[in-house]
Amino acid sequence: MSNYDPNQGYDQNQGVQNPYGGGNAPAGYDPNAGKSDKRTFGLWSLWLGIAGMIIPVVLPSLAALVLGIVSLVKEPKAKTLGIWGTVLGALGLIWSLIFLTVVIPLILILAFVPAVVEYGTYTSY
């Protein structure tokens, strides 16, 4: 006969079985600790990335980039949202920097060209 005893309890110090093999994990170890089932960071990243593409300002694009990276690290269910938010945040950051360094100075230069051509030199009265 075997030495099986149904009254013997489970030993709490045995640890948690590692699903990928390689032995047992330490007792109390949770492989998903710090991860979330929510999609909050991913959604914020996506919306701010879209806003950064429409409105060429640095702040929404930078926030989308940071929140997209945080979403990729902390929210496994929002991986696609985090990727899109990160990509749109990076593209929006590039777009806003181009807009601030090229388009706005070009608009300002072209705004004063008629005054220079009409009067010969620009003078303020």
pLDDT single digits (tens) 31-86: 666 666 788 899 999 999 999 999 988 999 999 999 999 999 998 888 999 999 99
Q: Which amino acid belongs to residue 40?
A: T
Q: What DSSP assignment string belongs to 17-63?
A: EPTTSSSEEPTT--TTTT--S--HHHHHHHHHHHHHHHS--HHHHHH
pTM exceeds 0.85 for this model:
no
